[in-house]
Chains A and B, each alone.
Chain A
Amino acid sequence: MLLKFVPPLLLTAMLAPAFAKEAAPAAADPVAEARLMELSSELRCLVCQNQTIADSNAELAVDLRNEIREKIQTGMSDAEIKDFMVARYGDFVLYRPPVKGTTLALWVGPFLLLAVGGGILFFNLRRRRQRDAEPELSRDDQALAESLLHTDTTKETR
């Protein structure tokens, strides 16, 4: 039973030095480092496009983390740092793109699709309900149908 925990523990022990190495700069200024991590996890690394600058080990991501760290030290606000990044790399660098003309389809599209889908569903259901609500044959029609069914059809086809 205990054996089950040994491999993960071993793995953790093996990785510990690696973590220690990664965490080294955090000792400098924990508050600034926390801000750096928060900011850079909102920013896309353009080299490896599905990673954040916080996650990526691409050289550019390392450079940009240093750049952001410096900007934090000079007292720039998060918004100012994001503007700096957008001015150079475009909106694509933001994981949460701003709402504007070019990104409208991105923001409104899903709701538009939902509305279209909902509309189709609504009209289909309404039509089905109307069809179901249509009265059964009236008594006269019923009698007519009965009489037609019981007449000798051979006469008519002749």
Chain B
Amino acid sequence: MKARYLIPLAIFIAMLAFLGVGLTLDPREVPSPLIDKPAPAFRLQTLDAPSRVMTPEDMRGQVWLLNVWASWCGGCREEHPVLVELAKSRAVPIYGLDYKDQPGDARRWLADFGNPYTAIVSDPDGRAGIEYGVYGVPETFVIDKAGVIRYKQIGPITPKALQETILPLVRKLNAA
């Protein structure tokens, strides 16, 4: 009989547990439907030389990161030192997609903070961003040798995300 009165308490504790887990989740992180799908095509001018056009096909045969960034984006500044370090380690080439940005601003930003990118393409009207389902810069895609998206980092790459998720995945994909 006594146990009956504990039921509301048990329900309350279960609810607390659910709410507690909920607090640790980031509702802004919406799982991408593009995981394990071929990287969407784009044909974009590079930031350095508008006469040069790049497509994802150019990166075929290597594991690469596509980092979507912009000079107006606060999270990108936060992320930038991590990318610079990563570029120095030469673990994986980083290609930049300069999202809805002014080329002049982007170049100044890179001159100020360093350029970790192997190459950067400009996406001034954000069309390529839409193809990649970008909704908040920075976002980073890990793309394998066959051109398939294997992982998407939403928001800045933290040192922890890099060490625990991205680099192990890159090593695995490189070994494959």
Measured CB to CB, the residues of A under 8 A from B are 46-47, 49, 59-60, 63-64, 67, 86-92
Given the complex of chains A and B, what is the CA–CA distance between A46 and B155 in angstroms? 13
Given the complex of chains A and B, what is the CA–CA distance between A89 and B31 in angstroms? 8
Query: Cβ of B33 and Cβ of A89 under 8 Å apart?
Result: yes
Given the complex of chains A and B, what is the CA–CA distance between A124 and B130 in angstroms? 55
- A88-B131, A89-B30, A92-B30 known, 19 other contacts, Cβ within 8 Å: A46-B135, A46-B136, A47-B136, A49-B27, A59-B126, A60-B135, A63-B126, A67-B130, A86-B33, A87-B34, A88-B40, A88-B130, A88-B133, A89-B33, A89-B135, A90-B30, A90-B31, A90-B33, A91-B33
- Count B-side interface residues using an 8 Å CB cutoff: 18
Query: Cβ of A59 and Cβ of B135 under 8 Å apart?
Result: no
Query: Cβ of B28 and Cβ of A87 under 8 Å apart?
Result: no
Given the complex of chains A and B, what is the CA–CA distance between A61 and B136 in angstroms? 12
Closest 9 CB pairs of A and B: A46-B135, A88-B133, A90-B33, A92-B30, A89-B133, A63-B126, A60-B135, A47-B135, A90-B30
Given the complex of chains A and B, what is the CA–CA distance between A120 and B47 in angstroms? 66
- Report if B32 contacts A (CB, 8 A): yes
* Interface of chain B, main secondary structure: loop
Given the complex of chains A and B, what is the CA–CA distance between A59 and B31 in angstroms? 21
Residues on the B chain within 8 Å of A60, using CB? 126, 135
Task: Tell me how far the C-beta of A62 lies from the nearest C-beta in chain B, rounded to whole angstroms.
Answer: 10
Query: Cβ of B136 and Cβ of A90 under 8 Å apart?
Result: no
- Report if B132 contacts A (CB, 8 A): yes
Task: Tell me how far the C-beta of B120 lies from the nearest C-beta in chain A, rounded to whole angstroms.
Answer: 20
